[in-house]
Structure 1
Amino acid sequence: MSGAGSDAGAALRAGDAAAAALRAVDPAAASGRDTGSVARRDAARGALIGLAVGDALGTTVEFTSPGSFEPVTDIVGGGPFGLEPGEWTDDTSMALCLAESLVETGGFDPLDQMRRYVRWWREGHLSVNGRCFDIGNATRAALSSFERSGDAFSGSEDSQSAGNGSLMRLAPVPMAFHHDPAAALRLAGESSRTTHGAAECVSACRYYAGLMVGAINGATKAELLAPHYSPVAGGLDGLAPGVAEVAGGSFLHREPPVVRGAGYVVRSLEAALWAFARAASFEEGALLAVNLGEDADTIGAVYGQLAGAYYGESGIPERWREVLAMRDVISRLADGLVALAG
């Protein structure tokens, strides 16, 4: 058999194995999903609301070592910033800044995005308590550089700065552009470059945007988690090696402590997909994600974006949605992103 044929056969076998593993956890993983406009709206809104819910759930055990805490079972607040139940951190603040920019400019404007991130940093814009807290080092450095240079793409390209700070806020881009998958993946990468220019960060955002686009448009879980899923041909060309390994299905055969809730973007991506693949509901996966500890709020936020898009807003526990801080703002911006997509 030719090399190309061997590769194709290996991919098919890997896909079959992945589908079987998913069905063992979630028998509905390969079943068809509603793709009508109401379902797409529910899915798109779910991506942003799921992000905020995962953030609020995980903040309780942020910065804790795995196994050093009583497992999280509900949104209870507390954590290193002493938040009230339903309050969230920088993940959601930055996602709301990105969403607000997309909605108010009517398109993708990286300069405007950076100005809004600076407002959050300097003034507490779209913060849950009126002040910036929990900002990452790479984000702070990029915003400082932007203030000096005016360059919207101020994210460091150094792999040592390949944190999860752009992946955590990503949902508004695939929400706004799910009707144009090629644009969604391209702009997802550009959205990372504003603060996180490392190849791993840009690649992770491109791959994860494709998963969200697929989920919003009705792809099954088996389809989404098959090796190298993309909603558009060539969408994963040139992925950084670590992200390509995750896209190939590393999360399907790894378990903690190899799977970790670490801040390195490749590990964060793998952890979120590990939780998504092993759960049969939004709630089950969210608890798996945040109970990894470490960067628990961001692992919850990354998980919540995809799981929210897959299960929809209606699939996120109502008790969690009701307690969300600034719920009206999140809902309004989610509706604006849905309207932008047309």
Structure 2
Amino acid sequence: MAHAPQPRLDTWATDRAAGVLLGAAVGDALGVPYEFQATLRDDQQPRMIGGGLGPYAPGEYSDDTQMQVCIAKVAADGADLRTPETLDAIATNFQGWLSGGASDVGSQTRAVLGAAGSAPGEPGAAMLAAARSFTAGNDRSAGNGSLMRTGVVAL
């Protein structure tokens, strides 16, 4: 499949992209202690206190941003994110993140990356096959976790 050429970001656009990623990371770090918690009352203000589902320090972002960084490292050089080679690089980064001591990993993410890591073949294709298999067998697999990791794709 032929892909259209990727646009190259100029200095201004690169600066804006870095700002978007930084803003997402800060928002994630602020939200860490509140994931799956009750809505704050009107008299409460969110605070960057760490904790949450992982052993997060105040100001530390969660697995959502950690995985977005795995994608950003591949995209930083202007890679076309639609190619099998690029998907292989992202899948390899995800596996490195998981095996490198990821602080918090959702059950669906762990299941897909675990299945992909033990599958033969190219890492990207194995990740896609594992994700499709998981989704086919789990009617509650359409969460928003994947969306929290894709801001860099739009950039």
TM-score normalised according to structure 2 size: 0.71
Q: Does the Cα contact within 8 Å between 2:21 and 2:152 map onto a contact in 1?
A: yes
Pick the aligned partner of 1:152 from 124, 127, 131: 127
* Equivalent residue in structure 2 for 1:84, among 57, 82, 106: 57
Question: 2:19 aligned with 1:56, yes or no?
Answer: no
In 1, Cα distance between equivalents of 2:51 and 2:72: 27
**Partner residue, 2:87:** 110
Matched-pair contact (CA < 8 Å) for 1:76–1:85: yes
Contact 1:55–1:92 (Cα < 8 Å) also in 2: yes
Are 1:169 and 2:131 matched, yes or no? no
What amino acid is the match of 2:143?
Answer: G
Structure 2 CA distance for partners of 1:69 and 1:114, relative to 1, 3 Å: farther
**Separation of aligned partners in 2, 1:58 and 1:110:** 29
Offset at 1:80?
4.2
Alpha-carbon displacement from aligned partner over 1:83-142 (angstroms, at most 9, x marks no partner): 22211110111000011122368332111111110111111xxxxxxx312211111111
Q: 1:138 to 1:78 in 2, by over 3 A?
A: closer
C-alpha separation in 1, matches of 2:20 and 2:36:
24
SS at match of 2:127: coil
- Structure 2 gap segments, 5+ residues each: 1-9
Aligned equivalents of 1:146, 1:71: Cα separation in 2: 42
Mark the structure with the bigger radius of gyration: 1
Cα pair distance change 1:70/1:101, threshold 3 Å: farther
Q: How far apart are the structure 1 equivalents of 2:94 and 2:43?
A: 34
Separation in 2 of the partners of 1:135 and 1:100?
20
Task: Look up the SS of the partner of 1:152 in the other structure.
Answer: helix
The match for 1:143 among 98, 113, 124 is: 113
Give how far 1:71 is off. Answer: 2.9
Structure 2 CA distance for partners of 1:75 and 1:148, relative to 1, 3 Å: same
Find the aligned partners of 2:56 and 2:69 in 1 and give their Cα distance: 18
The structure with more helix, counted as a fraction of residues: 1
Counterparts of 1:185-200 in structure 2, within 5 Å, are none
Counterpart residue type for residue 97 of structure 2: W
- Work out the number of aligned pairs and report it: 132
Measured in 1, the distance between the counterparts of 2:32 and 2:11 equals 32
Query: Which moved further from structure 2: 155-164 or 54-63?
Result: 155-164
Stretches of 4+ aligned residues off by more than 4 angstroms: 67-70
Name structure 1 gaps, 5 residues minimum: 1-36, 124-130, 176-342
